[in-house]
Amino acid sequence: MTQRVWNFSAGPGALPLPVLEEAQRDLVCLPGVGASVLEISHRSKHFDAIIQEAEANLRQLLNIPDDYHVLFLQGGASLQFAMVPMNLLGDGSADYIITGSWGQKAFQEAQLVGKARVVWNGKAENFVRTPRPDEYQIDPNARYVHFTSNETIQGVEFASEPYAGEVPLVCDMSSDFLARPIDVRKYGLIYAGAQKNAGPAGVTIVIVRNDLVQRAPTHLPVMLNYRTHAENRSLYNTPPVFAIYIVMLVTRWLLHAVGGLAQMERINREKARLLYEVIDQSDGFYRGHAHPEHRSIMNITWRLPTEELERQFLQEAQAHGLHELKGHRSVGGCRASLYNGMPIEGVQALCAFMRAFMQRHA
């Protein structure tokens, strides 16, 4: 099989085809370089141009203010779960808003490092929504307030930033980073594994205000200190060269082919609308997980009447070229991830299949 299927994987997820085609064309020999991007020194002027464009594209797409650093790190969001408290907690405490599995993990790691407190937890309601501001109290002395903008497993997404008073907001934005415009000024620190909307697995993007970088204690291992990476512009040691190259291509595609994040959001909202419409009009055959006003435009989750039907659904979908629709092993059911790289045609194909499947089985 050399024909591409519709890939709804929750991550690593689908990438824009023009990005893959350009990467393929140049993989053995980068034009003007004489070597593959897999072989070039991270100290070469060729890589310098790549990482500088990746950063410049991100700054332009997100309108990142000058007092924020853009870092390209390794280890995924899971390492950030530890690095954030290691760098920012000091002797203080942090407040965590938990709306799903990833927020829970971030909180557990913070507890290993220092003092952390849960101010709101959606677990009792089975993670179906984000909180109202009157449902939780922020400690005004907290070092930061942590939240997960989009919970990939449950499909719960914040429509806008949660209330945090004057306390710096820290956000795990892994699964909706670059899917819509945000106001970076509202955040102290944003981190995101690239493998959803921004690139392949293997690079983690951190956007952090300079005053927070300066909080890092001096005794931290060098590689776990944001100051190291800020001062060395992500080149303290060998960075994940190829993953950063793909982020550069993806952000270039977002800027010049898509036309920016407002346009990307319009496309993403339309994709999600099409799929939720099928679910909402199915008379309960497809049951969405999250409350409608809190559901994700990235990860659409639903159940069928029985687990047997779910198995059949996934099997037939696969046969129709609709892949990776199985829900996360911790919650079951079905999930379609509609990241930036998923074209509307793929969603239309999924919707048509879901309507036909329902007709046969409802």
Contacts (CB under 8 A) with a second copy, residues 143-202: 193, 195, 200-202
Q: Is 172 a catalytic residue?
A: yes
CB of 134 to a second copy, least distance (A): 34
Q: Is 196 a catalytic residue?
A: yes
SS3 347: helix
Query: In 3D, which of 323, 339, 291, 59 has the Cα closest to residue 175?
Result: 339
Out of 102, 120, 253, 302, the active site residue is 102
Out of 172, 271, 302, 326, the active site residue is 172
CB of 15 to a second copy, least distance (A): 5
Site for a second copy in 239-268 (CB under 8 A): 239-243, 246
Partners of 97 in the beta sheet?
120
Site for a second copy in 66-85 (CB under 8 A): 74-79, 81-82
Out of 196, 271, 302, 326, the active site residue is 196
CB of 89 to a second copy, least distance (A): 12
Does the footprint of a second copy cover residue 319 (CB under 8 A)? no
Q: Is 66 a catalytic residue?
A: no
Query: In 3D, which of 26, 259, 301, 294 has the Cα closest to residue 154?
Result: 301
Does the footprint of a second copy cover residue 231 (CB under 8 A)? no
The one among 10, 138, 169, 314 contacting a second copy by CB under 8 A: 10
Does the footprint of a second copy cover residue 58 (CB under 8 A)? no
Query: In 3D, which of 192, 184, 187, 193 has the Cα closest to residue 169?
Result: 187
Does the footprint of a second copy cover residue 21 (CB under 8 A)? yes
Torsion angle (degrees, nearest 10) of CA 71, 219, 41, 244: -20
Burial of 125 (0-12, 13-18, 19+ CB in 10 A): exposed
Q: Are 78 and 105 in contact (CB under 8 A)?
A: yes
| Contact map string, positions 110 to 149, toward a second copy, x by CB under 8 A | --xx------------------------------------
Nearest-angstrom CA–CA distance, 150 and 358: 28
Does the footprint of a second copy cover residue 27 (CB under 8 A)? yes
Query: In 3D, which of 188, 173, 216 has the Cα closest to residue 86?
Result: 216
Give residues with Cβ within 8 angstroms of 319, minimum separation 6: none
CB of 18 to a second copy, least distance (A): 10
- Residues belonging to the active site: 102, 172, 196
